């Protein structure tokens, strides 16, 4: 049976539109770091590179490359950890060029560094982007977090974040860092802003 994250892992990817505390286990990710506006060409190129590798891994068995433990699955959604430079934090308004991001796509448990290296080799034959050398493969444990589903444009996210922070105050828990995770349940390149679904998540202390 094909593993589909929308059906089998709703607790991580399809949360409620009200805040909740969850414990996120250890997951594997393809990751790439950058700085600047999400409107930039480099940001878009980072997304293309990550998806290229992710789909190369999923298609390996169909190309005759056997992977131990492989099972059919839907490629996981794009995620991003967002923060600001020191200069960006001092500004009273959001300066997009001062954004610091880590883009990532979760990988199934059977994926290893060897598998990722092979996938990068496959992608490089079609797209010899310098960004390929900046992609890392890491294991992350977020642990206890507060999360909430945001429906709407990215510009309206501060309203949802304020709800989450108020919830934390009432629950007596503390957000560990102003850096937050976004999981793009909707493909923001194809869905109009008003209908975008994005998981917002903070790690708790």
Q: 35: domain range?
A: 5-203
CB 161 within 8 A of CB 155: no
- What pTM was estimated for this model as a whole? 0.92
Tens digits of pLDDT across the chain (205 residues): 899 999 999 999 999 999 999 999 999 999 999 998 998 999 999 999 999 999 999 999 988 999 999 999 999 999 999 998 888 888 888 888 889 999 999 999 999 999 999 999 999 988 888 999 899 999 999 999 999 999 999 889 999 999 999 999 999 999 999 899 999 998 887 888 888 999 999 999 9
* CATH code of 91's domain: 3.20.80.10
28, 138 contact by CB (below 8 A): yes
Q: Total structural domains in the chain?
A: 1
Q: Are 154 and 37 in contact (CB under 8 A)?
A: no
């Amino acid at each position: 049976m094909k593993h589909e994250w929308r059906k089998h892992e709703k607790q991580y990817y399809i949360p409620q539109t009200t805040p909740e505390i969850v414990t996120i286990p250890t997951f594997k990710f393809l990751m790439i770091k950058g700085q600047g506006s999400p409107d930039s060409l480099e940001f878009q190129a980072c997304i293309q590179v990550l998806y290229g590798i992710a789909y190369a891994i999923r298609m390996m068995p169909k190309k005759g490359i056997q992977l131990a433990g492989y099972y059919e699955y839907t490629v996981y959604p794009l995620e991003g950890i967002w923060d600001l430079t020191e200069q960006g934090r001092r500004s009273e308004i959001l300066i997009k060029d001062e954004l610091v991001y880590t883009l990532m796509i979760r990988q199934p448990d059977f994926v290893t560094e060897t598998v990722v290296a092979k996938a990068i080799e496959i992608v490089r034959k079609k797209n010899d982007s310098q960004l390929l050398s900046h992609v890392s493969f890491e294991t992350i444990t977020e642990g206890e977090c507060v999360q909430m589903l945001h429906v709407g444009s990215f510009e309206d996210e501060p309203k949802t974040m304020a709800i989450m922070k108020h919830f934390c105050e009432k629950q007596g828990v503390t957000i560990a860092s102003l850096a937050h995770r976004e999981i793009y349940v909707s493909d923001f390149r194809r869905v109009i802003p008003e209908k975008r679904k994005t998981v917002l998540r903070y790690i708790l202390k």
